[in-house]
């Protein structure tokens, strides 16, 4: 189990428990976290689970696959620390991961 701290554009923090192997998108959906649409349900097909990963954590995540990098090019307000939440798998090493949701998806 690991905790994820979601922070929205209004600076509201919501902390959820995620299971090892579960994606950040999935954890968000199961806990009704607003700001992540995930239209395709995690198939890396839509780009609407775009999130910003806190600088301190970014390098702890794995490398982005080509499909994710390409998909991110079409999201809004993409930054250096942008990721697709459906492609980040949680583990105890990521306990306390801080994830910020964007102004809008798509």
- 16 has which bridge partners? 4
Q: Please tell me whether residue 90 binds other proteins under the rule CB under 8 A.
A: no
Q: Please tell me whether residue 12 binds other proteins under the rule CB under 8 A.
A: no
Task: Measure the CA–CA gap between 95 and 82, rounded to whole angstroms.
Answer: 19
Name which of 56 and 106 has its Cβ closer to other proteins.
106
Cβ-based burial of 43 (10 A; exposed 0-12, middle 13-18, buried ≥19): exposed
Task: Measure the CA–CA gap between 46 and 39, rounded to whole angstroms.
Answer: 6
Minimum Å distance from CB 81 to other proteins? 20
Name which of 89 and 100 has its Cβ closer to other proteins.
89
Q: Please tell me whether residue 76 binds other proteins under the rule CB under 8 A.
A: no
Q: Name the site residues for other proteins (rule: CB under 8 A).
A: 26, 29-32, 39-41, 43-47, 67, 70-71, 73-74
């Amino acid at each position: 189990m690991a905790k994820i701290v979601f922070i929205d554009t209004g600076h509201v923090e919501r902390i959820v428990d995620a299971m090892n192997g579960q994606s950040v998108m999935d954890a968000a959906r199961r806990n009704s976290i607003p700001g992540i649409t995930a239209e395709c349900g995690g198939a890396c097909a839509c780009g609407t689970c775009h999130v910003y990963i806190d600088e301190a954590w970014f390098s702890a995540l794995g490398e982005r696959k080509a499909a994710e990098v390409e998909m991110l090019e079409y999201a809004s307000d993409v930054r250096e620390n942008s990721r697709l939440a459906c492609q980040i798998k949680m583990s105890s090493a990521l306990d306390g991961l801080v994830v910020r949701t964007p102004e809008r998806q798509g």
